[in-house]
Structure 1
Amino acid sequence: MKSAGIYLSQLLEIYGVDTVFGIPGVHTVELYRGLAGSSIRHVTPRHEQGAGFMADGYARVTGRPGVCFIITGPGMTNILTAMGQAYGDSVAMLVISTVNAHGRMGSGEGWLHELPQQQALVSGVCAFSRTLHTVEEIAPALAQAFAVFGGERPRPVHLELPIDVMLASADHLPLPAAVSRLARPSPNAASLDEAARWLTAARTPLILAGGGAARAAVEVRALAERIDAPVAMTINARGILPPEHPLGVHLTASLRATRELIAEADVVLALGTEFGSTDYDFNVDGGFAIPGQLIRVDIDPRQIMRTILPQLGIVGDAGAAARALAALIPPRPRGAGAARAEAVKARYIRDIAPDMRGDLLLLDTVREALPGAIIVGDSTQLVYAGNIAFVAETPSSWFNSATGYGTLGYGLPAGIGAKIAAPDRPVVVLSGDGGLQFTLAELASAVEAQAPIILLLHDNGGYGEIKFYMTAAQVAPLGVDLVNPDFLAVGAAFGWAAQRIHDPDHLAPALLAAAARTRPTLILFGDDLRQIARERAPASG
């Protein structure tokens, strides 16, 4: 018999799914019956939260949804945090779970893994959650999920199969030779004409590029060069313009220098950015404003009308809009835009604390030592500095959880997912000692998955950022000093190469040696190394 579980795996193959992250359980055995006979790779984390974070990292690098198989009940409550991060950062994730059989679902009779209303619990962190009550619903539900991933703002989707449905026969259901794909909606022609007129007449145009434009680097670059406009990139948009491009501004809009650039722009074109506070008002000082005319392009019409209302809103794909605008606007003489971008880059350093200057020096060392590296971050000191001013090489090569939802424990499993997605590229994970211990067991997953990532681990004995914040607020710093394990011994026990470095000069050689290994590497450092980097960092731009 071809069960529903087998049928589902066959459909996933047709959709091009090549990897599934999950932990088998008694309620998902039938899903694994189908997976075992397929071409799909299975990766086992040590916790369902790790499965979600791995799927997130995989999705950001590939541009395809990360897929998870999750048991009902505790499996779903465990993955909710990862789904929340993916929801906040618009990451495509397909979570396929079981749920108790009809007649037992939500009965309150104490069946194994029973939740009163699993679908209701999950629905707040996904585009939609659907219970598949019959085998015939599987194919349409998958089609709807992939319509979200390909045709609108990507976010997690949850599909749950009651156990009796998963065991049912699908022999009568044929497999399609191919599946339909939705193109992202094209912008309205009249709105594009209006935007083109504004940008043609602009004296100081500016582009604000967000994560929604990360897959449109070619189109954004062509438009920026056409209208001679600097491009200020949010955290999830870093790398849309390469480091050497004269129009690139790899600086957060929370900086005074970037805000000055925005203030002098008479027309601002915002492409795929939600104007979230972690990019535009990280210090919550209320100082971000756009005095010029604002054009917002976003695939989500509701997002266009949130936070900052535009004078002109355009619903559609950022890449399609940029391409169309470039065709409508006559080329502008080059030079003024690059001068404006260079001016902001020359003065931004005044706004950055000395510690962050040292951290940026360390991050530059990583980029220069490992060209093409993907840098995945947790919420930790080096990441905070990088989100302020790190210059990424390519799109989706710098991402972390210190945005939006802002979870801890993200870096290590997301880095594993990124390495599985791009096995030929170096993957460097930035984590702190506190954050790492949220998902410490995933050290084993990296070895098992043969994912030789590099973990740069900052050990400052606890939650240093929170301790500083509490002290500044004159609150006794309780709960922030941790008893840490011997991280080098723990790494070695899991099969990692592990070393500690004390000088920034030793970072590049350690990275190069790690990149040459076929097993993961943990590089531990403390505040002594950061202090030396701080002393060596430039004090002016």
Structure 2
Amino acid sequence: MSQGTRSCGIQLMKLLEDYGTEFVFGIPGVHTLEIYRGIADSSVRHVTPRHEQSAGFMADGYARATGKVGVCCLITGPGVTNAATPLAQSYSDSVPILAISSVNKTSSLELGQGDLHELNSQSKLSAHFTAFSQTILSTDSVPEVIARAYATFNASRPRPVHVEIPIDLINNPVNWSQFRESQAHPPQADHELLRTAAKALAKANKPAVILGGGCKDSAAEAAELVEVLGAPVVTTFAGKGIISEDHPLSLGSNLLHPPVLDFLKQAEIVLAVGTHLSETDIWSRGGDIEFDGQLIRIDIDPSQLYRNAPPDIPILGNASHALAEIANHLNSMNLNPANSHAESRLLVSNLLESTKSHWYENTPVHIKVWDKIRSTLPDHGIVTADSTQLVYSGNYVFKARRPRTYLTSTTGYGTLGYALPAAIGAQLGKPDSPVVCVIGDGGLMFTIQELATAVEHRLPIVIVLWHNDGYGEIRDNFNEFGIPLVGVDLAIPNII
């Protein structure tokens, strides 16, 4: 390679640098050496987890906490399969992750010749848990594919993208002087539909609002709409903190409890924004969320608009723009929400009190832990929450006051081992925010090796460990259904 010529691997990192990449999470391997030459030649910081699964979780925690794209670098084969679980979690929870990997040389793709790290079709595998998976067959296409990835992250439902580069192309010299970065923006909703939605909300005596994870960057717009409307608002677990859970109109994240579900069923009209309205939004209660009144749904994903609960008014578009325009229409109607505010606040207070009789059995014990965390952690502090009994209560009793401060894997894909590596990613992305990792002893065993990564980077993460000697939630399920205990009681080392 002549002096001044740069390889694909080096230029790839320069390209990602231009897109604002701060960190790459990954474990180097013989197939990705030239990409690592590019990392060394850039301002991008590399973080080495002790397992590629954690690379994906770290990228996820970074992305959720910052709102930026998380980037991980994976080797061919085992690197990609090790990262499959976190990528599937990110896919389920709409988290923007760019997974860059190597793949076997172009001349042997899918031929089954027994090459090192070979999979029959790596790209087809990852296509099941990504927005798209692209094999690079010409280095000239790399800038275009990366631009497509960032267009997906910025202008549609954000989900992981996998880009794999054959090892014979990673070292090739490239000239990408003529390329355009993605300038894509999310679609704006139809103005007439927004006006129609505003009129319907204004006419209703009993409006209600549901906010999901798709509103994480729309907190100001959501608060304005809720206050001008004077409507009770409930968030999904993914939407915790979009409206401060201390707000007098906030029902918190109590969507799963029967009193709140009954209230929504009986509401004259419900506005649901950026939410699946799925099984894990009402976790363990079974059935669907029912609406006897009108339903307005706003979502950036057209296919999501009709899933689980078909709307009377479907609105495709960006949550921030849609909420702001509806609020503007409501303001122009000179509503007087003073009386409705007082009624709604009393209703919210009564509903919150009535949910307590539907709490999980151990919630009165768990809430003592969560109250201590809340009283200690500043509003901008971040909680990463694993799948464990303490967190199942925390999903509704912990009062999040800002968006992107409660990151949980208990929704959607629902994996274990998320919270510790996610805390590392969140802490790196938000160094001025204290981070608390809440995890069970069983879940911690999945990624306990990342304690070494946290120590290596001198990260002041606090770990709250729920220690019940194994898989306590599943043990309770065994007992509930009269099944002899098998595989749920674990020999947990002395972690403290």
Using the size of structure 2 for normalisation, the TM-score is: 0.96
> In the alignment, which residue of structure 2 is the partner of 1:200?
202
Cα deviation for residue 400 of structure 1 reads: 1.0
Separation in 2, partners of 1:182, 1:332: 39
Counterpart of 2:464 in structure 1 is 456
Q: Is the 8 A contact 1:147 1:181 kept in 2?
A: yes
Residue in structure 2 matched with residue 298 of structure 1 by the alignment? 299
When structure 1 is superposed on structure 2, of 193-202 and 42-51 the one drifting more is 193-202
Match of 2:420 among 405, 412, 421: 412
Residue 124 of structure 2 corresponds to which residue in structure 1?
A: 120
1:51 and 1:351 map into 2 onto residues whose CA distance is 38
Q: Provide the residue aligned with 1:318 in structure 2.
A: 319
Name the counterpart of 1:26. Answer: 30
User: Which whole-Å deviations, capped at 9, do the CAs of 1:432-482 have from their partners, x for residues lacking one?
Assistant: 111100111111011112221111112211111101101111111100111
Q: How many residues align?
A: 485
Counterpart pick for 1:376 among 381, 384, 397: 384
- 1:472-528: CA deviations, max 9, x gaps? 11111100111111212xxxxxxxxxxxxxxxxxxxxxxxxxxxxxxxxxxxxxxxx
- Cα distance in 1 for partners of 2:240, 2:360 equals 21
Judge which range, 465-474 or 386-395, deviates more.
386-395
Whether the 8 Å CA contact 1:126–1:158 is kept in 2: the answer is: yes
Partner residue of 1:223?
Answer: 225
Distance in 1 of aligned mates of 2:176 and 2:217: 36
SS of residue matched to 1:129: strand
Aligned-pair CA distance for 1:284: 4.2
What is the aligned-residue identity percentage? 43
Q: How does 1:125-524 map to 2 (within 5 A)?
A: 125-170=129-174, 172-174=175-177, 179-280=181-282, 282-286=283-287, 288-329=289-330, 330=333, 331-334=335-338, 335=341, 336-371=343-378, 372-488=380-496
Bigger Cα displacement from structure 2, 335-344 vs 452-461: 335-344
**3-state SS of the aligned residue for 2:147?**
helix
Deviations 1:269-328 (A, max 9, x none): 001011011112x22432631111000000001001111101110000111110000111
1:91 aligns to 2:95 (yes or no): yes
* 123-132 or 439-448, larger mean C-alpha shift: 439-448
- Check the 8 A contact 1:45/1:445 in 2, yes or no: yes
Residues of 2 paired with 1:303 and 1:475: CA distance?
Answer: 38
SS of 1:320's partner is: helix
How far 1:175 sits from its partner (Å)?
A: 6.0
How do 1:101-120 and structure 2 match up within 5 A? 101-120=105-124
- Paired AA for residue 169 in structure 1: P
Which stretch of structure 1 is more off in the superposition, 403-412 or 259-268? 259-268
Tell me, in whole angstroms, the C-alpha distance in 1 between the residues paired with 2:316 and 2:105: 42
Q: 1-side partners of 2:328 and 2:467: how far apart?
A: 52
| Secondary structure, counterpart of 1:103 in structure 2 | helix
Within 2, Cα distance between the matches of 1:50 and 1:452?
18
Query: Separation in 1 of the partners of 2:309 and 2:448?
Result: 40
- How far apart, CA to CA, are the structure 2 residues paired with 1:71 and 1:235? 33
Secondary structure (helix, strand or coil) at the match of 1:437 reads: helix
**Gapped runs of 5+ residues in structure 2?**
none
**Deviation digits for residues 391-426 of structure 1, max 9, x if unmatched?**
112111112111110001111100110101111111
Task: Report what 1:537 is aligned to.
Answer: none
Task: Give secondary structure in 2 for the equivalent of 1:487.
Answer: coil
Q: Which of residues 75, 79, 86 in structure 2 aligns to 1:71?
A: 75
Contact map agreement 2:143 2:176 (CA 8 A) in 1: no
Q: Distance in 1 between matches of 2:124 and 2:253?
A: 39
1:353 and 1:273 map into 2 onto residues whose CA distance is 24
Judging changes above 3 Å, is the alpha-carbon distance between structure 1 residues 71 and 338 closer, same or farther for their aligned structure 2 residues? same
1:60 to 46, 59, 64: 64
Once residues 422 and 246 of structure 2 are traced to their aligned partners in structure 1, the CA distance between those partners, rounded to angstroms, is 28
In structure 2, the partner of 1:497 is none
**Structure 2 CA distance, aligned partners of 1:400 and 1:108?**
39
8 Å CA contact retained: 2:279, 2:286: no
SS at match of 1:249: coil
SS of the residue 1:27 aligns to: helix
Query: How many angstroms does 1:107 deviate by?
Result: 2.0
How far 1:332 sits from its partner (Å)?
3.4
* Further displaced range: 283-292 or 374-383: 283-292
Aligned residue for 1:35, secondary structure, equals helix
Equivalent residue letter for 2:462? I
Distance 1:31 1:285 in 2: 47
CA–CA distance in structure 2, aligned partners of residues 272 and 445 of structure 1: 34
Checking the alignment, whether the CA contact within 8 Å between 1:251 and 1:258 is kept in structure 2 is no
Letter in 1 for 2:345: A
Per-residue deviation at 1:370? 1.6
Letter in 2 for 1:244: D
The secondary structure found in structure 2 opposite 1:45 is coil
Tell me, in whole angstroms, the C-alpha distance in 1 between the residues paired with 2:41 and 2:135: 25
Give a deviation string over 1:86-130, Cα, whole Å, max 9, x none.
001000000000001111222211111111100011100000000
Distance 2:421 2:302 in 1: 33
- Residues 11 and 175 in structure 1, CA contact (< 8 A), matched pair in contact too: no
Contact 2:97–2:161 (CA under 8 A) maintained in structure 1: yes
Q: Deviations over 1:163-214 (max 9, x none)?
A: 11111101x32165x7232111100112112111101101011110000011
- Deviation readout 1:311-358 (Å, 9 max, x if unpaired): 110000111110000111123322222222222112211111341122
RMSD: 1.2
AA aligned to 1:264 is: Q
Distance 2:459 2:183 in 1: 31
